[in-house]
Structure 1
């Protein structure tokens, strides 16, 4: 194995793991390489060979028949997927350094998951160019098999990227194609609800409030069928904003009165104002405890806040 060969040459050079790894990789990662637990990238091999005063070919002499270990890579992918679900991006650069996307033996679906991990990482770091490259590649590779949660994750990430560019038509094309494929080949499940939510959000941002409200109603219906509350507060907020923009003040007031979500207090004040209950509207508005900066980041909420500030602020 490559790791055993690196260890042998390191020992012949009387170097410790710390001395060999210094400035190239961590000692822990070198230890994993030597144990055969991970396979280093070509770039790492070149740097190690320079420090050991040998060629990369010297590492390969006894391992010319090295093949991709699918069990190992699947274990690593699952490990880093879990890390990201927990919001931990701190160690993903170790995974990226291995350049698994360059290994031809990796099946397309697994390679797609690798690119999806990269895309999520580059979204976290703010590198939009690399995010775009890897999310497009992830979608291409993951589409070679039936739709699964990884593909849905990739679709939602792509839609977020398109949404930042106000490309709502392209977003809806992707979401609707995905939704129709799921509905054709599978029963209603959480994946359907996730896609429906993104569709509802997209129509709302595009100013299609009635269409958005129809999708919200469908989400609520299927959530009841599955006995789940998917993104309950966010869905309630989306429903409330749609009702506000559609001028359905009575329905809005009835809905927000049942919600404990802080930002709904703004919508409650707006509903009361529209229904003619000025005193209660003023009371709710002036006791608003929600972060105003957060409200200003949402176009609909920001406009509602400005209107109430103008109408009620001077009372």
Structure 2
């Protein structure tokens, strides 16, 4: 009897290749971009870069910007944004705190239609960290340079860390936030009351859980459960007038939900509890960022039921012939 094991193994290998796409596409499909200059802005920065190259069949669609501020100090915070790719080779990061020494990295994200079920979206390696800069200053810095602190008015009141660590976080995690520690019980969770979709973002109104919150972290998930799923996390200052915050850097055309987490300083919390966080709010209603969204209020998700489905479901069945 002929041994069919080799043919079975070959068929299994072909099936695995079809499911996962080219084995090396995930690692070598896009080379890492290279940051060339950074122009600080109030609450952000314009980052110019040299793009990496994409293999045949892969199109770079977005860039992931990971920033770390006040590295090595009690004020350390991180920010992650996903922005669309453009031909200008420049991206803008927002929602940064003025007066804190900052570095950022870029990761290219691409669409790989031939990547099978598992590798439809591929990421490059992270770029090297940007030169050290301070949001709010007016001095553009290039790779290999750092903006001096005295050029930043806000930085005068904020001591520079003795040994800043310009390296980005090793594994940025914009996924929904983990449960807070017991110290976070000092803050009650906020409650989202409404969302207005905008071009590449949204305005979120809410009821604060605690009046002591000094900032809020906005965690958004887009196209959840699909191959296009992506996550955006931003930290913004608590609004001084009204209870509304804005999230940017979202991809248009993807169904999105967000949560809010309050954050406050705790000077008496010791070395490891200088900041406390509330539990995350319940998820917002689903909304759709769009270039044509304007200021229209997003309709509740239940209103999206297609009328055609209702008509079909309620149509009476024909009576059987006698």
Do they superpose with TM above 0.5? Answer: no
Rg (Cα) greater in structure: 1
Q: Which has the higher helix share?
A: 1
TM (norm. structure 2) is: 0.23
Which structure exhibits the higher relative contact order, with contacts defined as CA atoms closer than 8 Å and separated by 6 or more residues?
Answer: 2
TM (norm. structure 1) is: 0.23
